[in-house]
Amino acid sequence: MMMMMMMMMMMMMMMMMMMMMIGTIKMALILCINVFL
């Protein structure tokens, strides 16, 4: 039971990290486009 909970938590953390990374990349891209324009 405990292992399942740990796995779920790890998965959630990984997903959050990925979302954050994608968000930062998107923001950087938008900034670059704005600068170029």
**What pLDDT does 8 receive?**
93
Q: Which of residues 19 and 3 earns the better pLDDT score?
A: 19
Radius of gyration of the chain (CA): 16
Residue type, 35: V
Interior CA angle at 12 toward 21 and 10, to 5°? 105
Please state, rounded to an integer, the average pLDDT across all residues of the chain. Answer: 89
Give the model's confidence band at 1: pLDDT under 50 very low, under 70 low, under 90 confident, else very high. low
pTM attached to this predicted model:
0.56
